[in-house]
Amino acid sequence: MTFLSVYYLFMKLRSIILLFTLLAFGAILKAQDSIDNPVKKLFYDQISLFPQEKIYVQTDKSEYLTGETIWFRAHLVDAVFLKQANASRYVYVELVNPMNHLVQRVKLRPDSTGCFYGNIETEQELGEGNYLLRAYTRVMQNIGEDYFFTKAIYIANPISERVSANIKYHASGSSINAEIQFFSKFDNKEIRPDRCVVSLAENNTAKEREVSFKEKIGLYYFSEKEIAKERTFQLKAEFNGKIYKKYYKIPYLNKTFDVSFFPEGGYAPIGTTMTMAFKSINSNGLSEDVKGQIFDDQGQLCREFETTHLGMGSFNMYYAPGKKYYAVCTNKENVSKKFNLPEPSDSVVSLKTSWVHDKLYVNVLKTPNYKLQSQSQLIAHIRGVPVYAELWDSTKNYIVFDKDFFPAGIVHFLLVDSNRNILSERLVFSAQKSTFTKTVTQQDKDKYKLRDKINLSIKITDDNNEPLSGNVSIAVVDSKKTNLDTTSSIVSTLLLSSELKGYIENPMSYLQINNKASELALDVLMMTQGWRRYDIPNLLKGNPVKDMKYPLELSEEVSGKAEGVFSTLKEGNLSLLALKDSVLGVSFTKPDKAGKFIFKNLEYPEGTKYIIQANTKTGSRKVFLEMDTLNQNPSFKNLPRIEKSESVAEEDSLLKRVSNAAIAYDGLKNYDLAEVTVTAKRKLPSITESPYYSVMSSSVITTKEIDEWHLLTVYDLLRRIPGVTVSGSEVMFRGNTPMLLLDNVPTEGFDYNMLSVSDIQDAFVTPGTTMGAIFGSRGANGAIVINTKRGFVQKNTISSNIKYVKAIGYQQPTTFYSPAYEREEDRKSKKPDYRTTIYWNPNVQIGLNGIANLSFFAADNPSDYIVIYEGVSKYGHLIHSSDKLITVSEDKY
């Protein structure tokens, strides 16, 4: 029985699959053949000890205007069978700006069906440019950020349709001079901003520096020190109160490139003809097309070659005994460089593979004097599951596998000696059709009117036309207002990008159906990238990875250490209070003998604050708390260089596509972008950062009110707080003496005269119903909370026995708003409807018959709507469809 047959047996028997996945990968497989095959047993043990997950995120579109909402669904699957996984409780999704600074992070928990989805509201003030959407789970951090999901998101700013910037760069030694000119797009005339600054990344912040102008030309000097690794800056200019903000890349002016050569199987055997793959990248880390010539060490031309796809290609190469070789490569700018080819060897073995008529041939190439050990093995695994491990028959030159032997994905072949040292390895992609689905999308009409109701039915079957159940996320977008993302999909991510270390440029281009050029490019990619989800060399030596720094995250946990005055807190009491708009919950725990403590099974929404308090067994507050790092989020240092074409190019502007009416304004072209409707409430900046603020608190008096009301003393301020009365130097709240929290520190017997009102950042009062739960009897009368600008208290920003932390709570999902025109009065409403995303549903359940039905209403623009849906079936089939077009005419309903 082939592995594929076993694979589908599991797919049809759901109860067995559930045992087979994350909880017990090894248990079933080991019983089959691992007893007498120690290599397979090692792989099964590794999967059991270190299960892995993958994520793919579908967004409603890939281009947005500032102020719009990014809607998304995170498809979390186990890394072996690609089935929906619910091992990790949380998925983290981040929006990162072009300077590699975090813009927003959301934490998702699954709904009742196990699906993760949410949204990110973009701020109006964001600069225009290529942003990165990144998603991961805690357990994924164990294998590194290379395996996180990443996707390019272009965010455009409306003022870019009125103003354009032209920047010319000139080299000045190792530094760069920039000449900046602004133009009005209304009449293409040069204009000078009222103010212009350049912002560069510096220690996780952005430092602004003024641009000097000589008439209408701005001059800026980028020193070598200023040019960060990302080589990105934000240009900000002000025109009559309108702010232009856009991110730019500092170019490499030398137009250099680098070419790497990869002999098939890892080595270049002397005296054999082998395949040599190569990859060319430019200074930006992206593909560079080149042409090249191979010369021997006598200067004799041996052959010519050129890139065939995204800077990559391959050619046949013969290493003659006693000779070395080099290549001379030339790019489109006619820049030539010399590169040495890999050194040949007279005592190596190398794997060679080729697909011929749906059969995979695996050959072993050897130098004439190399003798392969009799106990050498050929091993093949896919996503860490061994599919083949047998001794190599030295009487044969090759072994043949039927195409149906492998599931879809990357097969990793290894040739190992008797001591399990790797002699050669090769990646091969298996395009097994049975892993994919057939999709049919039907509509109830051939054409629709504006605001007409659209009814869709989608049907999903396997390769044998058997219906499949599962769930998908569906987006319907206006093709005239947004471009379809053709660079990545759930298929390319789960089968290709998530398996390979490093950035894969345009992964969908390698998976074109019935495209010979695409198949050849994919095989070259297999020779230039590496599979490294597990440490295979150590695994084969019997040392599987056992310890995970980041275990599966099943709930939120808060931990730390409590110490008494002279020793660890052995028998004390610790409490955790969860606060948002009110008290959400209270948890209790006790420290161990070393004073270590942990609060488990916490789960609260975003915006929650934790206040941790410790007391000795006798109730004394003479305790010192030290908190462990909460939510260790990965860095942004090595984010991939994902470049998305600027949709604001003149010939294909996102802004032009969504603009409805143009008017003249201050000599600049101004667009009424009323059709961009933000349905969710925009997030307002927090009035106070104090953890003691809640909806039960009074209104907050800030520096703004202090200035407007011309308050002279702290007592004048306190009298303005509702419920607070001042008599001489005595301060009361609702007839009782409240406690004082000064810069979050409980302060007793404080003389308010010591505090200057000009030093106060904000102040408010919180009643005893909230403060009593935190501070007991001390807070029973409520508390006056005063925060100063610079910090009045110089030591211990909070009492030694009290700590507060801001938790990354889970996002409470909101529903995408799609207007309904069921009634005649709604259809005749004059309120414009210029939606870009017509419909978004992150969780469409597909029934046992393989069918799901949905309906929505057309907007006010005649167009063709694109229907995109992606997901996985109940058994791990990959679902992807983006071919359906729905025509909406100019006729009104």
Q: What is the pLDDT of residues 40-88, one digit of tens each?
A: 999 999 998 888 999 999 999 999 999 999 999 999 999 999 999 889 9
- Cβ neighbours of residue 402 under 8 Å, at least 6 residues apart? 2, 358, 359, 360
Read off the pLDDT of residues 291-345 as tens digits, 9 standing for 90 and up.
Answer: 999 999 999 999 999 999 999 999 999 999 989 999 999 999 999 999 999 998 8
pLDDT confidence of residue 567: 64
Alpha-carbon span 59 to 57, nearest angstrom: 6
Q: Is residue 774 part of a domain?
A: yes
pLDDT tens for residues 779-828? 889 999 999 887 764 433 456 788 878 788 999 989 999 999 999 999 88
Q: What is the DSSP letter of 361?
A: E
For residue 133, the model assigns a pLDDT of: 96
At 642-690, the pLDDT tens digits run 665 444 334 455 555 555 433 222 333 333 333 333 333 334 345 788 8
Cα separation, 117 vs 106, whole angstroms: 10
Domain assignment present for 39: no
Instruction: Inform me whether the pLDDT recorded for 244 exceeds 70.
Output: yes
Question: Number of helices (H) and strands (E), helices first, in the chain?
Answer: 12, 55
Q: Do 596 and 711 have their domain in common?
A: yes
Both 697 and 764 in one domain: the answer is: yes
CATH assignment of the domain containing 462: 2.60.40.1940
Residue with structure tokens 């090769």?
426
- Cβ neighbours of residue 339 closer than 8 Å, sequence gap 6 or more: 258, 259, 261, 326, 327, 328, 329
Residue 639 lies in a domain: no
In this structure, the number of other CB atoms found within 10 A of the CB of residue 563 comes to 18
- State the distance between the two ends of the chain, measured CA to CA, in whole angstroms: 60
Q: Which pLDDT belongs to residue 547?
A: 81
Residue 701 is part of a domain; what is its CATH number? 2.170.130.10
How is the chain split among helix, strand and coil, in percent rounded to 5? 15, 45, 40
pLDDT tens sequence across 328-338 = 999 999 999 99
- Whether residue 247 lies inside any domain: the answer is no
- Matching residue, tokens 């998305």: 644
β-strand pairing of 556-563 with 596-602:
antiparallel
Same domain assignment for residues 708 and 769: yes
Domain boundary residue among 792, 813, 834? 813
Selection from 100, 96, 97 nearest residue 202 by Cα: 100
* Rounded Cα–Cα distance for residues 523 and 353 (Å): 10
pLDDT at residue number 6? 37
pLDDT band at 392 (very low <50, low <70, confident <90, very high): very high
> Which stretches does DSSP call E strand in 127-204?
129-136, 149-156, 163-172, 175-184, 190-191, 195-202
How far is 338 from 356, CA to CA, in rounded Å? 35
Residue with tokens 């008096």: 701
Same domain, 783 and 833: no
Which residues contact residue 442 at a Cβ distance below 8 angstroms, ignoring those fewer than 6 apart?
A: 456, 457, 458, 459
**Do residues 491 and 880 touch, judged by C-beta distance below 8 A?**
yes
Residue, of 800 and 132, whose pLDDT is higher: 132
d(CA 71, CA 153): 12
- CA distances, 851 to each of 409, 843, 869 (Å): 27, 14, 13
pLDDT, position 204: 61
Structural domains counted in the chain: 2
Torsion, Cα 801 806 807 812, to 10 degrees, reads: 140
**Residue 467 in this model has a pLDDT that exceeds 60:** yes
Distance CA 674, CA 655 (A): 12
Residue 18, phi-psi category: left (phi > 0), alpha (psi -120 to 50), beta (remainder): alpha
pLDDT at 662: 31
Closest CA relative to residue 448, chosen from 821, 71, 139, 162: 821
Domain final residue pick, 787, 813, 839: 813
* Domain contains 746: yes
Residue 359 has pLDDT above 70, yes or no: yes
pLDDT digits (tens, 9 = 90+) for 424-443: 999 999 998 888 999 999 99
Burial class (CB in 10 A: 0-12, 13-18, 19+), 355: middle
Based on the domain organization, do 799 and 746 belong to the same domain?
yes
One-letter-per-residue 3-state SS of 773-815:
HHHHHHHCCCEEEEEECCCCCCCCCCCCCEEEEECCCECCCCC
Whether 777 and 846 map to the same domain: the answer is: no
Residues 477 and 592 in one domain: no
**Stronger pLDDT, 131 or 548, i.e. the higher one:** 131
Instruction: Using the predicted structure, report yes or no on whether residue 384 has a pLDDT greater than 80.
Output: yes
What is the DSSP secondary structure assignment for residue 703, as one 8-state letter? H
Q: Are 268 and 274 in contact (CB under 8 A)?
A: yes
pLDDT at 222 over 60: yes
- Looking at residue 18, what is its pLDDT? 33
Per-residue model confidence (pLDDT) at position 568 = 64
pLDDT at 280 over 70: yes
pLDDT of residue 777: 83
At residue 517, does pLDDT exceed 80?
yes
- Residue 560 domain-assigned (yes or no): yes
Contacts of 278 (CB under 8 A, 6+ apart): 259, 260, 261, 262, 292, 305, 307, 312, 313, 314, 315, 327, 528
At 11-38, the pLDDT tens digits run 333 323 333 333 333 333 444 454 468 9
Of the candidates 99, 130, 117, the one whose C-alpha atom is nearest the C-alpha of residue 871 is: 117
Is the confidence at residue 395, as pLDDT, over 90?
no
Cβ contact 474:844 at 8 Å: yes
- Report the distance separating Cα 490 and Cα 436, nearest Å: 11
Residue 253: its pLDDT value, please?
87
Q: Is residue 457 part of a domain?
A: yes
User: Do the domain assignments include residue 753?
Assistant: yes
Listing from the earlier edge strand, what are the strands of the sheet with 336-340? Answer: 301-306, 290-296, 325-331, 336-340
Q: Look at residue 798 in the predicted model and tell me its pLDDT.
A: 52
Mark whether 763 and 887 lie in a shared domain. Answer: no
Cβ-proximal residues to 22 (8 Å cutoff; 6+ apart), any chain: 51, 78, 85, 87
* pLDDT for residue 416: 95
Query: What pLDDT is recorded for position 686?
Result: 53
**Beta carbons of 218 and 165 less than 8 angstroms apart:** no
Question: What is the overall mean pLDDT for the chain?
Answer: 85
Range of the domain at 587: 551-627+681-813
Least confident of 354-363, 585-594, 632-641: 632-641
- Co-location of 555 and 580 in the same domain: yes
Tell me: do 583 and 717 sit in the same domain. yes
How many CA atoms within 13 Å lie on the side-chain side of 45?
Answer: 17
Longest dimension (CA), the chain: 104
What is the dihedral angle through the alpha carbons of 441, 447, 453, 456, rounded to the nearest 10 degrees?
-10
Alpha carbons 324 and 299: distance in angstroms, whole number: 10
Query: Do 805 and 853 lie in a common domain?
Result: no
Q: For residue range 519-538, what is the model confidence (pLDDT) as tens digits? A: 999 999 999 987 677 889 99
**182: closest CA among 171, 193, 174, 173?**
193
Residue 779 phi, psi (nearest 5): -100, 10
* 565-583: pLDDT as tens digits: 656 677 788 999 998 877 8
Q: Are residues 789 and 691 in the same domain?
A: yes
Residue pair 463/373 in contact by the 8 Å Cβ criterion = no
- Among 791, 813, 835, the domain boundary falls at 813
